[in-house]
Structure 1
Amino acid sequence: MDKNAEIRYQQAEKKANQYFNTLYQSVKEENYITALIKDINSWKQHHIYHSLFPFGTKAKKKAHTQDYESYIKWLNYTGKLNQYLDRSISYIFMRDLGKDLTSTDTQVRIQNVVTSLKDHLIQTTSNDKNEESTLFSIAGLYRWGQKEGIESTIIWLIDKLKIVSKNLPEGMDGTHARRKLLKIIAGVVINEMEEMESNLLPDDRSKKLDTAIRLGYAYGLTYPFIDDLLDAKVLSDEEKKRYSTIIRTSLLTGSVAPLGQWEGNNKELLEFIHSELTDAFQYIKNQQSKETLHSFFEQSYVFFHSQEVDRMKNLSNETYTNEDLYIPIVIKSSSSRLIVRSLLRAPKDEDIDNRVFYYGIYNQLADDFADMFSDMEEGAVTPYTYYLKYHKQRNDLVNPFALYWAVISYLIHNVYNSDSKAIEIILDRAFNGLKRFKKKVGSKVYEEVMETFAVGNSRFTQLIQKMVRKADDVDFFDKLLRDHMVTNLKNEQKEQEDFSELIDEVRTKINNFLHINEIDSSPIIDAANYSLNGDGKRLRPIVAWMMGVKEYGLEEKAIFPLLKSIEYMHTASLIYDDLPSQDNASFRRGQPTVHQSYNTAVAELTGLFLTQKAVVEQSYLTEFDTKSVLKLIQYSAESTMDMCKGQVMDLESRGKQLSLEQLNQLCFLKTGKGFEAALIMPSILANVDEIQIDALKRFAYHAGIAFQIKDDLLDVEGTLNLLGKSVGKDAENNHSTFVSILGVEDAKKEMWEHYCLAMEALQEIKLKSTFLKQILNYFVQRER
């Protein structure tokens, strides 16, 4: 394949040379300017508005584009949403799918997408609930998967994304890597959906979507684990060289090259990456037919090699020619999207391939312009960074900003044949990019940049800057999504970090005051402290602390007795649960169980002692009114009774096949009630209204069941070291579990269903923080 791949690259290089020479001549002769001035003057009629009533009129103030929901609402309110979505979707059809916008079939498809997306956006932004956009939530993704019949695929993807996020090394932009991976997956799915026949049977559609998501993930991995990794300062120069050789060899031979022996700090990272990429490589390979396999690897090699040629440039080199700067980016910018068609074995279409090829550099130059300062800081060679550094001493260098407009003119008049809609969308995109850049760097820096990159024709320059100042309605949905996704990913990461830090802090506080000090020591008190000193997660008192202190503003010291009572009750339930007459467990919280370390009688009495100690602690809630405390004690006693009923149901169910409904009831009484109590008891002290209490109970019900299902899954899939307790006890005790009733795959589906229901209940609760969402995410994604 080596020879064929090199020939394929030479062919791509030849085509890129021809394209660049055409653009170069256009810049040199400035023959793109006259046509573009005419295009822009026509275009601006729809984008510069002059109010006939400048005074006394009232209009709804334009929402900031960074405020996702408000901006969608504003667009809908002003009647601009349809036009906004039409240009956004049309742009995606041009850029990602290489479609001809003059085609009637393409226009029908675009309008169908616009109508569906508009309905979805209006529905998800029309209420005042505390609702996270379903486009970006796990719950929304899973609900879409249910609709398409690919729940298992979505569960697989969620697990994979979690693993990737966990293994992204320091020194790499994790937010960018995750966003890019999601974008690639979405792009592959969009391509697949566009290729699908309208009369496809549901099962066939599900299979195609499943394959597209897995292919998208497999291809998308190359960005964080090849492109970004080689660009970042994670690997040494020698490691990068060796790693690149492995990738190159794999593409040329069609088989993954071995990693070999690797030493140093990056050993585990590279072993993980090599393993993930091997699986991805093999999956892609298995999806190719014999006829397309060589073509796929050749196209992939063209993409990788063009990236490598571009990556190896050094900004200190003063001798790069224009061809050196532009040919690799023409090739790589088009290859990245042509590969997607190859991935999906889309039928050969020369017109689409040509449109994708010519369009690529337009996006690349726009991206390089937006990133020129960060690229300059990193010493990356792009047409813009190189021109910034050497234009004063190199008169032969092509002005990349001029070439950008030459590309626009070529696309409009040579690729899209002066089509009015193509003109509209391409110019919208161009001016949107300039307006975003100006806002990002500020007017002063923007003017300095424009002075540096000014084209020779002053009339054209002035017209461009006038449009940047005055043109409106040039925003795009994909940019809104990108900003929203980046914001969400950053916020999510910050929330997770803050949540983890707070959890550790609160757990330490709780651990410090749980110890029971009695004047007269006894085996029961020793056993109680032994059990309390184990490696407990303290989830229930932590949740109660969060609700009481963070949400309701209760004094921390005032609710200490409540936190102790909750943990004492929970620990008592575990002691009983582990007894020989019940689960007969030998290991709990990383140590032998109480009846193993002492004896059964002491364990039974210790459990009773802790339940009574919990009631005593509740009586110490003297900072709160008596009625609230009595109500709390009553609720606590009733919850304990329910938990006992749940345990009895569990014991009586051994050897019996429970229905799903019976198992839900059992696990809510046995496990969910304790979690509910951690939410409700602080709410009682804070005198929260019944509507909120009911919503919290619904959340607790579904979150508690999701927690139990995860426990059941961990009992099958976990390890003793991770869990701190014995694994496989459910099967040993002949317990009915979600796994034994449903099987692993359907148990996971049931867990994510309850996750979604819990998230939907959460939308009805007005909270100051996101900790309940974080705790729910922890419930379903924990490893212990």
Structure 2
Amino acid sequence: MNEKFTDHADTSYRLAEQKAAQYFASLYAQVMDKIYVPTLTEDFQLWKRNHIHPHSWLAFFSKGKRKPDSRDYYRYIGWLNYTGKMDDYLDRSVSYMYMRDLGKALDSPDTQTRIQRLVVDIKNHLIHTTRANGGDQPEYISLAGLYRWAQKKGVENATIWVINKLKNVSSHIPKEMNAEQAQRKLIKIIIGVVLHAMEEMDDEILPAERALRLDQAIRLGYSYGLTYPFIDDLLDSGVLDDQEKEQYSRMIRTALLTGSVPDLGEWAGNNMDLIHYVHSELREAFEYIKRHQRPETQKTFFEQSYVFFHSQDMDRVKDLSNANYTNEDLYLPIILKSSSSRLIVRSVISAPEDEGFDNRTFYYGIYNQLADDFADMFDDMRDGAVTPYTYYLKYRDQRSDLINPFELYWAVISHLIHNVYNSNAKTREVLLDRAINGLKRCKERIGIEKYNEIMEVFASGNPEFNRLIQHMVRKADDVDFFDKLLRDQMVTVLKNDRKEKEDFFDTVKTVRHQINNLLHIPKHKEISPMKEPLIDAANYSLEGDGKRLRPIMSWIMGVNEYGLQASAIEPLLISLEYMHTASLIFDDLPSQDNASTRRGRPTLHQVQNSATAELTGLFLIQKAIQEQSSLDKFDPKTVLALIQYSSQRAADMCIGQTMDLHSKGKALTLEQLNMICFYKTGIAFEASLVMPAILAQVRETEIATLKKFAYHAGIAFQIKDDLLDLEGDLVLLGKPTNKDVENNTSTFVTILGQEGASKEMWEHYCLAMEALKEMPRNIAFLKHLLNYIVNRDS
């Protein structure tokens, strides 16, 4: 490694360490002399006037007005609005974000104007989405909500890109790591970088330039945020062994010192596939950041990144069994890593230097780190991690020189209010709100008994001050924050989403197996030998590796949603797959799409001949009608209505295929392509959902909603097929790619281009998701079906 790079990096780190040492020395003096105690006591006396209110008997008996649990997102937002607390709630939340994430001082009139503008925007959005969504997940977490935001900002391409990136990251997070927290951190960083970019733009910037900067901010945010799951979390976890961690850390250090990611080379450990993916992704992210750096900010980026990584590395190698760490050993790295992690953001987006921002951010960082370490101390103790809290808990009786991190935490708050933010009243309000909220959340999370035990340890040196604090923790109102609500909700949604996704694929796998067992057409003993070739041909087509998506949809809607007996609807499931397989046989014929493989095997006309394939298709259609007519567990009139509907939809599919054939070689409009797509694909989706609904005799309004969902889901499915034909994997698809080009077929890709087709797919995804809001029942399956449609590889 070049000694020049190393010397420069070491010099940068020593300078940062000296600044951190001076800051720590001033905090240490405040703790030793208890200077912060009378100062904060006075602050709290002023603060509590707005937060401790006498409870009236009327309020006690007005249960409808009582504060709901914040985990009930929509009721909580509704309660804030109903009680008139929404404005103050958002004001302190946005103010805190401006201090923490954007490094702003709250005494600036311009900052206050921006805060109030954002408060109004968020309030209007929350009220609108609360009314519109009912009990569904918050719009800001949903992919549909994200894409609708992207459309307003003109950043659809970047948003589609980052959705795909996040999907891949999620699938590569090892089970030993907390997948939801890793995703949350990454999303938080992306949002933070976007906010920084937005803050740097004034109202005079033209929309096109604004969209370009936001596009870059999304990609830069992902590129920087990727370091959290795949550097910090990965090195902190037990996924890599010691040798792997050393090799991996050395590679990262080399990249930061030289400005170039080294080749991975030989990997000695067991995690080769993971490391190859992580190395490739981080290299791409690193190069993207470098390309978008201005020369004057690149030096700052590498310096701050090195300080961040080196301080993290120093913290990471600490051993809780070592009883000899000094206070400086414990605190200087966390001052550096917590401040540099935020200072990097401005260099990532190439923002101009701002001395006020740099100083505020440097002094602010340790506050957040001490708050986070306090919240995580029990997990850290379990994992044997060294933090100021875990070290103090273990060695406080042996080491009288150890500084109490809880006291240092209050000293930092006092220092921020009075020395960094010049005793600003708004800053005092927000920081004390945050501190008391953190203790309230901790008490609720671990329980009163354990909380009191911890306070006995950490607060015993200042009994009078602690009594004041605990009084605030018990009695203070209006100290909760929107970002905490978002954090809790996001983790809950990610966990629920993962569980629902697992259930979705488990159900699909189970039902698919059941359906496969139903499809084989038997050859009875008395059957004429002349009939056998046709049955064999039908079974050949049915036995391919089909997804069975349509009968699976019908089974889940019929059994899980409408409560129909699984055995009673078996004929319906069989008929759907017979009809679908027949349509594929016809599609593949030389006179139509002329496909050579289907479901991973040669097409039927290749194995037999075109005439046999045509007759097999007709045979399966008749078998499908026969199956539907055997639905003898249902009212005959209902079955007749189902057969009439099915026949009409089968005829419509023929019309769709005819339109498709007549369109070959012609330039279609998007409207024409949508029509063909609906008739070819959307109708089959519709039938799979509507036919069990007919058997269950649900209301026409619900059937109309299912049709609307199926229309957009079907088009989204077809667009994904068109994209896979362009970029898919032959092995995964089970059929050749680039057939649309060979056949001179108009597709969404040929009409709109790859980017345009992706946008159109996500538009129909949103419309399908929005249709589900009208459903009067659980739609988890349909939601995950739609996610599968747009994210599948085959």
* CA shift digits 1:719-765 (9 cap, x unpaired): 21010012111111111111111111100010000000000101111
Hey, what does 1:580 align to over in structure 2? 590
Aligned match of 2:720 in 694, 701, 710? 710
Structure 2 contact 544–600 (Cα < 8 Å) conserved: yes
1:546-565 residue pairs with structure 2 within 5 A?
546-565=556-575
Q: Give 1:291 deviation, angstroms.
A: 2.1
Is 1:596 the equivalent of 2:606? yes
Using the alignment, how far apart are the partners of 2:16 and 2:236 within structure 1?
24
* CA shift digits 1:434-484 (9 cap, x unpaired): 000000000000000000111422210100111111111100000000000
Tell me the amino acid that sits aligned with residue 631 of structure 1. A
Hey, what does 1:670 align to over in structure 2? 680
Q: Give 1:174 deviation, angstroms.
A: 0.9
Q: Give 1:602 deviation, angstroms.
A: 1.1
Hey, what does 2:195 align to over in structure 1? 190
Hey, what does 1:414 align to over in structure 2? 419
Tell me the amino acid that sits aligned with residue 642 of structure 2. L
Hey, what does 1:207 align to over in structure 2? 212
Hey, what does 2:39 align to over in structure 1? 35
Hey, what does 2:555 align to over in structure 1? 545
Hey, what does 1:24 align to over in structure 2? 28
Tell me the amino acid that sits aligned with residue 726 of structure 2. V
Using the alignment, how far apart are the partners of 1:660 and 1:408 within structure 2?
59
Structure 2 contact 137–493 (Cα < 8 Å) conserved: no
* CA shift digits 1:481-530 (9 cap, x unpaired): 00000001101111111111110000000001111113225111001111
Tell me the amino acid that sits aligned with residue 586 of structure 1. S
Q: Give 1:767 deviation, angstroms.
A: 2.3
Hey, what does 2:333 align to over in structure 1? 328
Aligned match of 1:235 in 231, 234, 240? 240
> Is the partner of 1:556 in helix, strand or coil?
coil
Tell me the amino acid that sits aligned with residue 428 of structure 2. I
Gaps in structure 1 of 5+ consecutive residues: none
Tell me the amino acid that sits aligned with residue 189 of structure 2. I
Using the alignment, how far apart are the partners of 1:95 and 1:50 within structure 2?
32
Tell me the amino acid that sits aligned with residue 86 of structure 2. L
Tell me the amino acid that sits aligned with residue 23 of structure 2. Y
Using the alignment, how far apart are the partners of 1:562 and 1:465 within structure 2?
65
Gaps in structure 2 of 5+ consecutive residues: none
Q: Give 1:572 deviation, angstroms.
A: 0.4
Q: Give 1:57 deviation, angstroms.
A: 5.1
Structure 2 contact 716–765 (Cα < 8 Å) conserved: yes
Aligned match of 1:271 in 266, 276, 282? 276
Is 1:292 the equivalent of 2:302? no
Tell me the amino acid that sits aligned with residue 743 of structure 1. G
Segment of structure 1 superposing worse, 296-305 or 46-55: 46-55
Q: Give 1:56 deviation, angstroms.
A: 7.8
Question: What percent identity do the matched residue pairs reach?
Answer: 63
Using the alignment, how far apart are the partners of 1:66 and 1:674 within structure 2?
39
Segment of structure 1 superposing worse, 739-748 or 762-771: 762-771
Is 1:10 the equivalent of 2:14? yes
> Is the partner of 2:569 in helix, strand or coil?
helix
Tell me the amino acid that sits aligned with residue 344 of structure 2. I
Is 1:489 the equivalent of 2:494? yes
Structure 2 contact 546–599 (Cα < 8 Å) conserved: yes
Hey, what does 1:164 align to over in structure 2? 169
Aligned match of 1:745 in 751, 755, 768? 755
Using the alignment, how far apart are the partners of 1:158 and 1:57 within structure 2?
47
Q: Give 1:387 deviation, angstroms.
A: 0.4
Hey, what does 1:458 align to over in structure 2? 463
Hey, what does 1:425 align to over in structure 2? 430
* CA shift digits 1:351-370 (9 cap, x unpaired): 11111111111110000000
Structure 1 contact 401–455 (Cα < 8 Å) conserved: no
- Give the aligned length: 784
Tell me the amino acid that sits aligned with residue 340 of structure 2. S
Q: Give 1:263 deviation, angstroms.
A: 3.7
Residues 645 and 129 of structure 1: is their aligned pair in 2 closer, same or farther, counting only changes over 3 Å?
Answer: farther
1:683-762 residue pairs with structure 2 within 5 A?
683-762=693-772
Residues 429 and 56 of structure 1: is their aligned pair in 2 closer, same or farther, counting only changes over 3 Å?
Answer: closer
Residues 57 and 374 of structure 1: is their aligned pair in 2 closer, same or farther, counting only changes over 3 Å?
Answer: closer
Tell me the amino acid that sits aligned with residue 499 of structure 1. F
> Is the partner of 2:31 in helix, strand or coil?
helix
Is 1:533 the equivalent of 2:543? yes
Q: Give 1:599 deviation, angstroms.
A: 1.4
1:46-125 residue pairs with structure 2 within 5 A?
46-54=50-58, 58=62, 60-125=65-130
Using the alignment, how far apart are the partners of 2:102 and 2:779 within structure 1?
41
Q: Give 1:41 deviation, angstroms.
A: 1.3
* CA shift digits 1:44-79 (9 cap, x unpaired): 111111034458852512110111111111100100
> Is the partner of 1:657 in helix, strand or coil?
coil
Using the alignment, how far apart are the partners of 1:271 and 1:180 within structure 2?
22
Is 1:614 the equivalent of 2:624? yes
> Is the partner of 2:287 in helix, strand or coil?
helix
Using the alignment, how far apart are the partners of 2:573 and 2:419 within structure 1?
72
Using the alignment, how far apart are the partners of 1:554 and 1:421 within structure 2?
60
Structure 1 contact 130–765 (Cα < 8 Å) conserved: no
Tell me the amino acid that sits aligned with residue 750 of structure 1. E
Tell me the amino acid that sits aligned with residue 108 of structure 1. T
Using the alignment, how far apart are the partners of 1:211 and 1:574 within structure 2?
43
Using the alignment, how far apart are the partners of 1:278 and 1:127 within structure 2?
42
Segment of structure 1 superposing worse, 143-152 or 449-458: 449-458
Is 1:510 the equivalent of 2:515? yes
Using the alignment, how far apart are the partners of 2:349 and 2:154 within structure 1?
20
Tell me the amino acid that sits aligned with residue 234 of structure 2. L
Residues 49 and 129 of structure 1: is their aligned pair in 2 closer, same or farther, counting only changes over 3 Å?
Answer: closer
Structure 1 contact 130–764 (Cα < 8 Å) conserved: no
Hey, what does 1:303 align to over in structure 2? 308
Residues 719 and 157 of structure 1: is their aligned pair in 2 closer, same or farther, counting only changes over 3 Å?
Answer: same
Q: Give 1:621 deviation, angstroms.
A: 0.8
Return the TM-score normalized by structure 2: 0.98
Is 1:650 the equivalent of 2:655? no
> Is the partner of 1:725 in helix, strand or coil?
coil
Structure 2 contact 605–612 (Cα < 8 Å) conserved: yes
Using the alignment, how far apart are the partners of 1:707 and 1:731 within structure 2?
19
* CA shift digits 1:370-416 (9 cap, x unpaired): 00000001110000000000001111110110110111111111111
Segment of structure 1 superposing worse, 497-506 or 340-349: 340-349
Using the alignment, how far apart are the partners of 1:444 and 1:54 within structure 2?
31
Q: Give 1:685 deviation, angstroms.
A: 0.4
Is 1:371 the equivalent of 2:381? no
Residues 112 and 318 of structure 1: is their aligned pair in 2 closer, same or farther, counting only changes over 3 Å?
Answer: same
Question: CA RMSD for the aligned pairs?
Answer: 1.1
Q: Give 1:264 deviation, angstroms.
A: 3.9
Structure 2 contact 59–65 (Cα < 8 Å) conserved: no
* CA shift digits 1:8-45 (9 cap, x unpaired): 11111111111111111111111110011111111111
Using the alignment, how far apart are the partners of 1:779 and 1:389 within structure 2?
52
Q: Give 1:220 deviation, angstroms.
A: 0.4
User: Where in structure 1 do 4 or more consecutive aligned residues deviate above 6 Å?
Assistant: none
Hey, what does 1:319 align to over in structure 2? 324
Structure 1 contact 136–485 (Cα < 8 Å) conserved: yes
* CA shift digits 1:556-595 (9 cap, x unpaired): 0000000000000000000111111111111001111111
Using the alignment, how far apart are the partners of 1:331 and 1:653 within structure 2?
64
Hey, what does 2:150 align to over in structure 1? 145
Using the alignment, how far apart are the partners of 2:591 and 2:239 within structure 1?
55
